[in-house]
Amino acid sequence: MKQSNHFFATCSKGVEDLVQKELEQLDITDTKIHTGGVAFSGEVADAYKVCLWSRVASRILLQLKEFTIESDDDLYSAIISIDWSEHFSEDNTLAIDCFSSHSIVNNSHFATLRVKDAIVDQFVQNTEQRPSIDRESPDIRINVYLSDKQCLVYLDLSGDALHKRGYRQSAGSAPLRETLAASMLYRAKWNNFYEQALPFYDPMCGSGTLLIEAAMMAANIAPGLLRKKFGFFNWKPFAQDKAESDRWHAALQDAEEKKQTGLAAAPVISGSDNSEQLVGIARTNIKAAGLESVIKVFLQDASKDITPYTEKQGLIVTNPPYGKRIGQVQLLRTLYHRFGLQLKKNFDGWTAVIITSEQELAKSIGLRAFRKNTLFNGALKSVLYQYKIDSRRPGRADDAATEIEGDDKADGKESDVKAAAHSPGQQTSEHALMFANRLKKNYKHLKKWARKNNVSCYRVYDADIPQYAVAIDKYEHWVHVQEYQAPKTIDKQKAFLRINDVIDVVADILETKQQNVVLKVRKKQEGSSQYQKQDKKEYTTTVTENGLKFIINMYDYIDTGLFLDHRATRSLVKKLAKDRSFLNLFAYTGSVTVYAAAGGAASTTTVDMSNTYLNWAQENMELNGYTGNVYTESRHKFIREDCLKWLKQAIDENQKYQLIFVDPPTFSNSKKMDTSLDINRDHAALLSGCLALLEDDGQIIFSTNAKSFKFDESLRDDCFIKEITAQTTTEDFRRKPLHRCWCLTKQEAALEKCR
């Protein structure tokens, strides 16, 4: 196979130049960069070397044919014209992937089937046998790329993607892909450090990927040396040609010799993690890579007192947790901030490099980046931030890196590091102590009250000290911390340091694990955004209240799905519900409906315009043994509709209910609604409509969280009204009630039942 061939090395977007440099280092000069890879020409032996030595490429593809098509029949004809018996036999297993942007043959799955049919038909015609399809671990992989201008057929010489080096025995929950780790090290110019025998350190090493890739790079170890299989092993020109096999084994022998020489000259490489389990996994992977003599890993928390493993000033590269959930991102600000303080305290003169997809987290580290590079962690766009640590140059966290496109310098030169904000000082320490003492005092009292009253979910703290404007709720073993958005007059750095004080102590004081603390920023919500989802990743758990079970979501929304301040209101509904028809309007997650059903309601009707919340309400009911369906008539009905629109329809149909619960949003202008809702403006009309649905002996329980709410006294002309805020406010909300509540009836005697 001495003739020149056309190849394509695929890679992640943004690192094509790194692949090109690797090819040049392998004496492959006929290259051309494309989006997502590099085309090159050479002998097949050159492609073998790239499979063995490329740290960044994902796959190495050999071009078999180039053509154009106008139909799927043209595709079939072009594929069947290739003599596939030259490449593999009917005894081999096969996988085919087509990627189509063709205007006519635009369905990639259909194109894959046509390619498969052409290959299989050729073998059947010639041998009366056919190769089998194996998507998981095939002998041969065929890739086809279709467009209107060009159709290309490739044989995958890699087999499994090249990031699978062969050393990873196990991993954590979000392992870093090996090719991305190598890209980070190239961008961080790790070679400039190891060539001077300077050390490498990863303080959040996880399963050890960055450590291993750094060691392999520094010791000149081929990344494919441990792999047991490549795609070309089953390719006929390799498998049946002893000369080709000899060339491959010679390349392996050369790589092995370079490894032994390189290991002897490797610099100090060390890592740490705060997880004993991950440290164990990292050591296992390091041993599998044969690098236990080069890499040292130990148990240490990057947010606390980390120190260098050597006196030399070297390179730190790490992949801190990203935290895509809303509650995680807020908590991770604290981790990044403390990590930045550790860098300035103990790593003066070092270069530090981190990767994150969250600009807010990069700002929290309190350093100014001299270089930033865009990288992709799968489909997730991330930025590599590079810092030169100089503890003599303090700065402000607001000066920290801001995201840019491409690989430009942050400020046109390698600027000095700006340290994190000034020390919080004695006054903040005193406030922190005040907060911790107040939280302890509240918890000691409320814990006894909760145990006595069989309450497992309750509020412990609500901005009791003005400097610590947070609400803290305990949901069994979870803690939900909501940071009230600070006014513009409050210094952002002071607010940030104070929330760190909260995170410091809340888990210990409230007797839970740090990973069970969720932090969110409670911003003023307007219109349809009031209850919108904040993240795409769901996380739910189940809690118990008064013997009933409820699903809560700690991460994906500002609220959890269970309003704790309405605990007593729900109990009142349960007491009133026996043998009565119940309506829950603006039902949210249906917790009040569950209480009504548990109280023996003859029927329940749950109305909300959100599919998400209506399904959640139905799940809460089913969790407690009460079944119903959105689409069928049953004892328990779930109706997705604009509540104001449904109310008019129900009045026209002369529907009647004996118990109605109404807890509307303060304001809503959702696109799903025919008109906006302002509870201060519209509550009289809303309650008049509810009265039209109410049986003569029934009750309406109306609640609102609206501040400065004034009840429309004209309603007293049509009904009897009694404010019941005090009796629906429980001990954990006594000092700062969140809602006001009223009972409305047509008969004065019916008010007595609301006691």
Q: Is residue 406 part of a domain?
A: no
Which of 419, 369, 414, 425 has the alpha carbon at shortest distance from 394? 419
Last residue of a domain, one of 524, 553, 573: 524
Q: Domain of residue 280: give its range.
A: 178-223+258-399
Query: Do 64 and 172 contact (CB within 8 A), yes or no?
Result: no
Whether residue 107 sits in one domain with residue 183: no
Domain C-terminal end among 524, 559, 584:
524
Under 8 Å between Cβ of 180 and 141? no
Q: Looking at the structure, do residues 151 and 281 belong to the same domain, yes or no?
A: no
Residues 468 and 431 in one domain: yes
Q: Which of 492, 557, 550, 563 is nearest to 522 (CA)?
A: 557
317 and 442 assigned to the same domain: no
Residue 310 maps to a domain: yes
The predicted pLDDT at position 523 comes to: 57
Closest CA to 373 of 16, 39, 35, 20: 16
Least confident of 5-19, 23-37, 428-442, 603-617: 428-442
How many CB atoms neighbour CB 372 within 10 A? 21
Helix (H) or strand (E) holding 380: strand 380-388
* Phi then psi dihedrals of residue 377, to 5 deg: -95, 90
Whether residue 274 sits in one domain with residue 151: no
Helix 108-127 / helix 72-80 crossing angle, nearest 10 deg:
40
Residue 166 is assigned to a structural domain of this protein: no
In degrees and rounded to multiples of 5, residue 667 shows phi and psi of -150, 140
Residue 594 inside a domain? The answer is yes
Nearest CA-CA partner of 202 in 279, 270, 266, 283: 270
Q: Coil, strand, or helix at residue 217?
A: helix
Residue 689 lies in a domain: yes
What CA–CA distance (Å, rounded) separates 664 from 662? 6
Strand stretches in 593-725, DSSP E: 603-608, 636-640, 657-662, 667-668, 677-678, 694-704, 720-723
Mean pLDDT of 623-638: 76
List the CATH number of the domain containing 434: 3.30.750.80
Residues 263 and 387 in one domain: yes
| Whether 487 and 573 share a structural domain | no
For residue 232, give every residue at least 6 positions away whose Cβ sits within 8 Å of its Cβ, in sequence order, or none. Answer: 44, 47, 48, 51, 157, 159, 238
Structure confidence by residue, pLDDT tens digits, 518-562: 888 765 544 433 444 444 446 789 999 999 999 999 988 889 999
Rounded Cα gap, residues 175 and 172, in angstroms: 6
Alpha-carbon span 228 to 251, nearest angstrom: 15
User: Pick from 495, 524, 553: which residue ends a domain?
Assistant: 524
Q: What is the pLDDT of residues 325-353, one digit of tens each?
A: 545 666 788 888 889 999 999 999 999 99
Q: What is the CATH number of the domain that holds 46?
A: 3.30.2130.30
Q: Which two tokens stand for residue 255?
A: 């790589």
Query: 142 has which bridge partners?
Result: 96, 155
Residue 169, in any domain of the structure: no
The count of domains in the chain is 4
Both 657 and 723 in a single domain? yes
Look up the CATH number of the domain holding residue 569.
3.40.50.150
Joined tokens for residue 254: 């050369």
| Three-state secondary-structure class, residue 614 | helix
Q: What are the pLDDT digits (tens) for 376-405? A: 988 889 999 999 998 776 544 433 333 333
Is there a single domain that holds both residue 369 and residue 482? no
Q: Return the higher-pLDDT residue of 503 and 95.
A: 95
151 shares its domain with 205: no
pLDDT average, residue stretch 469-497: 84
Instruction: Give the pLDDT band of residue 13 (cuts 50, 70, 90).
Output: very high
Query: Region 9-27: what's the mean pLDDT?
Result: 97
> What is the pLDDT, as a whole number, of residue 330?
67
* 517 and 553, same domain (yes or no): no
Alpha-carbon distance of 315 to 317, in angstroms, equals: 6
Helix, strand and coil content of the chain, in percent to the nearest 5, comes to: 35, 25, 40
Residue by residue, what is the 3-state secondary structure of 148-159?
CCCEEEEEECCC
Give the pairing of strands 140-146 and 151-156: antiparallel
Same domain, 134 and 199: no
Q: How far apart are CA 207 and CA 281, in angstroms?
A: 5
Tokens 């403006």 locate to 681
Tell whether 495 is covered by a domain. Answer: yes
